[in-house]
Amino acid sequence: MNDDAEIVTEFLVESHENLDQLDRDLVELEQSPDSRELLSSIFRTIHTIKGTSGFLAFGRLEQLTHHGEDLLSRLRDREMTMSNDVAEVLLRMVDTVRALLDSIETSSVDTDPSVPVEDVVTLLARVLAGEPLDPDASPVTEAVGEPEPEPAPEPELEPEPSLEAVADADPEPAPEPEPQPQAAAPTNEPDVDPVLEAVAEPTGDEDPTARRGVVDASVRVDIDLLDGLVQLVGELVLTRNQILQRTDATTAASDDAELVRAAQRLDLVASELQESVMRTRMQPIGQVWSKMPRIVRDLAHQLGREVNLEMEGHDTELDRSLLEALKGPLTHLVRNALDHGLEPPADRVAAGKVAAGRLYLRAFHESGQVVIEISDDGRGIDPDKIAAAAVARGVITREQLARMEPREIIALIFRPGFSTAEQVTNVSGRGVGMDVVRTSIERIGGSVDLMSTVGAGTLCRVRIPLTLAIIPALVVGEGGERYAIPQANLVELVRLEGADLRQAVDVLAGAPVLRLRGRLLPLVSLSEALGGRRPDDEGGPLTVVVVQADEIRFGLCVAEVHDTQEIVVKPIGRQLKAIPMYAGATIMGDGRVSLILDVAGIARDRVLVSAQHTEPEARSGNVDSRALLVLEVSSGRRAALPLTAVSRLEEFSLDRIERSGSAEVVQYRDGILPLVRLAPAIGLPESPLTEDQISVVVHEDGGLRVGIVIDRVLDVVEEAVVPTDVGRRPGVLGSAVVQDKVTDLVDLEAVVRPVLAGALVGAR
Amino acid sequence: MSTATGVLARQYCTFWVDGLHFGLSVEHVQEVLRYQQLTAVPCAPDAVLGLINLRGQIVTALDLRCRLGLPPRPAGELPMNVIVRSRGEVVSLLVDDIGDVMDADELTLQPTPANLPVTVQDVVSGVLPLTDSILLVVDADRAVDVSTVPDPTTTGGPS
């Protein structure tokens, strides 16, 4: 109920604003009756009011606007031309809409009999039918201005003369309305033409307090002004921090009790001011949601779906600019849910569900973020279908696919150029889909996740910060400077020392990686990312900030971790715009400038993005430029595997090797990992054992794992490799010169096939 | 903006860089500040010495010595900030010392002598011969543009 009242209030405010615009548009239209742009604008306004009134069950309002819309659409489509009659009727319709809105505002219903909806509908119908309103033409001005004996219950309600009566009263033809010189004032009332002035008159005359409705309870403020305020408050907060530092009792440089008290008061006031100012920019998400019933209704109709729309959390507020940026993506997600998610009623019934699908929108605040969930109980997303489409479209390679979790596969639909709609409808499936949604959400610092169960439905969760201007961030230190990492990118902090450090961090060919709960994360040292050299921290403790951006998760090694604080994001100059590592700058409590790191930018700059999710590489001729893992086998011989085929690197002590039939296996992650020794598999003698452990490259294929035993990993190279047929033999595709040395290119499939075949047989 | 052929600005804010006397049209100069603490920006173009906090606004500080291809400032000497406005942005030009504001009503702007290092010519739009020195008139828009610093092959200064 409360929600409803709120929606109605929003509807009223919005509609009043729209009507003011409409008045201006209509007047302008009389001057340029051919302007399609104006007609479209007017049409849209009426259309919007109609849509919402339908949703809110204001039947008379809907009826009225429906007829108005008819007339307008004829005009817009040039099936009718603008005439005085038409203009008159349109203006009258607008006035009546206004009267109905006022009636709704005071009595919450639109059934007030004093509002002559039916008369106007009749008039609209007559104009539509091409009948003249009156042989004497429409004597507008006098008519409306003429005092109406009937007392209107709402003071601002325009007197409601029926046009026929008016015509009788005044035989004088209406003057051409426009030639009067008018001040082109930006406000809505003064620049309306005489007709409307007359109409608007009663409003101006009344007691100002009588009409202190929803429209007047708020003030429209230029958004630049608000932005300016936010800026200033940001400064104030920083200055306050500086003062607090100096008056802090523990470090007190002064024992001026008055000053300390004043500083505390300043602290309080500044905090409250900050909160209030931020709130001025906050708007409830209901603003976007109020449009959803209509969108859903139309789409459902168009797509032949039955949908029950449920919405929760209308009053969840977020920053205005974010709300604006969210409209598009949310609408898109709703469309997707209807088009791809919910099945047609017949299919649903066949699947044992109720015919009407459920679309559930929910918004709430969670740990300083706004979470918006869009869920449906439709068919869900089938990872296999996605996977097949992704491979077919070259979004990923088969090897990459083999190593992906179902959740990662579902996330593929966010990749550019991806659409699985079997049939391109006019609603969705034109290939500009989820990637755009994700990009626009990430642009405002948010993230989007999909969870889906085949046959049961899909949940799309969008997280966005409350505001863009002030964000929580982790402050880290490096090279004497401090840098801020937005909290949104932060996953966890890991500190490693001594034995843990040696165990968790492997250096593969100079590239450090971190084993974190079974996952390999690339490690990037912040100082290196910032163009310095990697710090010489052999054995010393290592602080890793695990960050996530653009689907890539990696560890950022930093020298120090300070604290988490709210920072005011400020732009940086154009001289620095080209540097990908920075998202902006901020000012710390001590007045110094700190840079805000752009985690996604760092990932791109360090070419990490290719480590997990490579774009399909361009291959020309027989030049294969994929990254290779270069290994040593058979005491000094070199062999190479495509890096994409490697899911993990492990070391096992010799006593862990067990036998299963003729095969060597180790117990590995709750399963059995069959081993294949690479040297014999590619026709080389095995090297004598020198250590008490073996190095293993774990390869995964369709859920089956194979461990490939090697001597050691030499390097990861990303150079173009020209394979030759030299040295081709079972298990070897050929040789190539890698880093100036002849290297066997391992035919992975041939090497693992016997093992996998055995595993499959064993599985059956 | 002053150009070699354009209208002469009336007043110049003057300053010194490596013994050279430079002038910037006062319309471009917002203010002059003593040394401000700089926050270094790794990976930035060489001329960007850092960022300063100008009453809450973050301003990029460019070292004019570097921009002009002149030898670096001796250690221990702190630069001054000439805060200029250019194309809607505020940028700080770091200079050695601030001179007077100079009226140049009667003087005619002359073309930059062709034998000046190309890095200097890139930034200077002309010269004003004064009685005791020659004022090099800086084009603010050029000075703050670090994307196209010419190769300082003709300068004698160390890189």
Structure tokens at A659: 């036998």
| Interchain contact B34–A (C-beta under 8 A) | no
A18-32, A450-464, A505-519: the lowest-pLDDT one: A18-32
For residue B26, CA distances in Å to A246, B81, B124 come to 38, 14, 15
Out of A481, A576, A592, closest to residue B44 by CB? A576
Closest chain A residue to the Cα of B46, Cα to Cα: A575
Out of A481, A572, A574, closest to residue B58 by CB? A572
Out of A573, A587, A593, closest to residue B91 by CB? A573
pTM comes to 0.46
- Nearest-CA distance from A318 to chain B in Å? 25
**Does the domain spanning B11-145 belong to CATH 2.40.50.180?**
yes
Contacts with A576 from chain B: Cβ below 8 Å? 41, 44, 48, 60
Inter-chain touch A576–B48, beta carbons under 8 Å: yes
Closest chain B residue to the Cα of A595, Cα to Cα: B41
Contacts with A592 from chain B: Cβ below 8 Å? 37, 39, 53
Q: What is the pLDDT of residues A350-365, one digit of tens each?
A: 888 888 889 999 998 7
pLDDT (mean) for A626-648: 81
Q: Give SS3 for A668.
A: strand
Structure tokens at A531: 């163009």
Measured over the CA atoms of residue A70, residue A72, residue A74 and residue A79, the dihedral's sign is positive
Question: What pLDDT score was predicted for residue A728?
Answer: 80
Question: What pLDDT score was predicted for residue B79?
Answer: 93
Structure tokens at A563: 């604290």
Tokens 């949604």 found at: A437
For residue A146, CA distances in Å to A123, A195, A406 come to 20, 12, 73
CA dist A201 and A209 (Å) reads 16
Inter-chain touch A579–B56, beta carbons under 8 Å: no
Q: What is the pLDDT of residues A169-189, one digit of tens each?
A: 444 444 444 444 444 434 443
Q: What is the ipTM of this complex?
A: 0.84
Inter-chain touch A595–B39, beta carbons under 8 Å: yes
Contacts with A481 from chain B: Cβ below 8 Å? 39-40
Q: Where are the domains of chain B?
A: 11-145
Inter-chain touch B60–A573, beta carbons under 8 Å: yes
Out of B37, B44, B147, closest to residue A579 by CB? B44
Inter-chain touch B53–A592, beta carbons under 8 Å: yes
Measured over the CA atoms of residue A179, residue A183, residue A184 and residue A190, the dihedral's sign is negative
Inter-chain touch A581–B42, beta carbons under 8 Å: yes
DSSP β-ladder status, A470-478 and A693-701: unpaired
Residues 6+ positions from B7 with CB-CB distance below 8 Å: none
Question: What pLDDT score was predicted for residue A367?
Answer: 60
Closest chain A residue to the Cα of B145, Cα to Cα: A575
From first to last of its 159 residues, what are the pLDDT tens digits of chain B? 444 444 555 789 999 999 999 999 988 899 999 998 899 999 888 889 999 988 778 899 999 999 988 899 888 889 999 999 888 789 999 999 999 888 877 778 888 888 888 888 889 999 988 888 899 999 988 888 887 655 554 443 343
Contacts with A591 from chain B: Cβ below 8 Å? 53
Contacts with B149 from chain A: Cβ below 8 Å? none
Within A569-613, strands assigned E span 582-587, 593-597
Contacts with B56 from chain A: Cβ below 8 Å? 231, 234-235, 238, 587
Q: What is the pLDDT of residues A376-426, one digit of tens each?
A: 988 888 888 888 877 877 777 777 777 777 777 887 888 766 655 444 444
Residues 6+ positions from B146 with CB-CB distance below 8 Å: A575, B45, B47, B48, B62, B67
Average pLDDT, chain A: 75
Inter-chain touch B42–A532, beta carbons under 8 Å: yes
Cβ A236 vs Cβ A244: under 8 Å = no
CA dist A310 and A299 (Å) reads 15
